Amino acid sequence: MAAIQQEARINDVLYHIHRDLSSPLTGAVLARVAAYSEQHFHRVFRSVTGESLHRYIRRVRLGQAANYLMFEPGTPVRDIALKSGYNSLASFTRVFGEQFGVSPGRWRNQERPQRLPYKNDPEIAAGVKRIADCSLPLPDLIALPDQPVAYIRHLGYGRSIKTAWQILQAWAVAENRPFNKQIGLHHSNPALTPLEQCRYVACLGIDQPITRRGLVNSLVIPGGLHARFRFSGQYGDLLPWITRLQDEWLSESGLKAGATPAFAEYQRNQFIDPQERFELFYYQPVSLY
């Protein structure tokens, strides 16, 4: 029970972190979110996530910055540093180089190490080939409302995600909870992050808040302007589609990538479908400025 409570509190912290990566994310601030003393909070955070707080925040901020540099060619590097939580361009340039091996400017100019670590996965590499000759569907631009969800976090992108969905569905049955949507939140860009380090959140849309917290918790997926793409295919196809929409559409659209996580809303969920097929809407948050 203590471990479940710790995970629930750290989930609150992770929600706070990903809601606004540019905000002050100090140990003192986040310890208050978790309702722990700061010293105890650092120990619990490492135990639950497998990373220190400093390492986790640095990694997700730099991942976001790398996305901005690729998909917002007109935004000054200094502004991207600020959006990613760095007040000093010099410190941002230093830690970015430590993380990715090149400066932010060289990364933007495509002088960067080979991306797409998921190509080492044979099924996803096969997906790259399957969709290579397919046209990227054109998106709709829509404004979404906030969406309350029940959720379970999962570390790693692969078939093991099925377990998170099975637990979430069992919870819905046990709690007699109707749900209106199946949503997968993508916290990590798999074109930059090894699949085993990608963070995925399995969510069920709910109408009433959760009163008993434990293995399953609740959060609100922020609304706002999104580009909505419709995708279908088999296991291995989705990540290549996501990379293509970022490389072929987002960088040319004139829009900027939003700061909130992208997500998939499943009509057919590849992780629990017997044929491992998916039909879904993929929502990429965007902004005009």
Annotate 106-118 with DSSP letters as a single string: HHHTT-S----GG
State the Cα–Cα distance between residues 163 and 171, nearest whole angstrom: 12
User: Which pLDDT score, from 0 to 100, does residue 115 have?
Assistant: 58
How distant, in Å, are the alpha carbons of 47, 211, 221, 225, 284 from that of 144?
A: 35, 25, 10, 6, 11
**Domains, the chain, ordered by start:** 2-108 (1.10.10.60), 140-287 (3.20.80.10)
State the Cα–Cα distance between residues 210 and 187, nearest whole angstrom: 22
User: Which pLDDT score, from 0 to 100, does residue 1 have?
Assistant: 52
User: Which pLDDT score, from 0 to 100, does residue 71 have?
Assistant: 80
Give average pLDDT by consecutive 10-residue segment, the chain, 289 residues. Answer: 80 88 91 94 93 93 88 87 92 93 87 63 88 94 95 92 95 87 89 84 90 84 95 95 89 84 96 97 91
| Kind and range of the H or E run holding 271 | none
- Which has the closest alpha carbon to 229: 158, 110, 134? 134
Is residue 267 within 8 Å of 213, Cβ to Cβ?
no
User: Which pLDDT score, from 0 to 100, does residue 117 have?
Assistant: 59
- 122 Cβ contact partners less than 8 Å away, ≥ 6 residues apart: none
User: Which pLDDT score, from 0 to 100, does residue 109 have?
Assistant: 82
How distant, in Å, are the alpha carbons of 113, 204, 264 from that of 170?
A: 42, 12, 21
Query: How many helices and strands in the chain, by DSSP H and E?
Result: 10, 9
State the Cα–Cα distance between residues 185 and 11, nearest whole angstrom: 14
Is residue 147 within 8 Å of 120, Cβ to Cβ?
no
- Which has the closest alpha carbon to 99: 198, 192, 200? 192
State the Cα–Cα distance between residues 98 and 92, nearest whole angstrom: 10
Is residue 200 within 8 Å of 184, Cβ to Cβ?
yes
For 192-209, letters b (16+ CB in 10 Å) and e give bbebebbbbbbbbbbeee
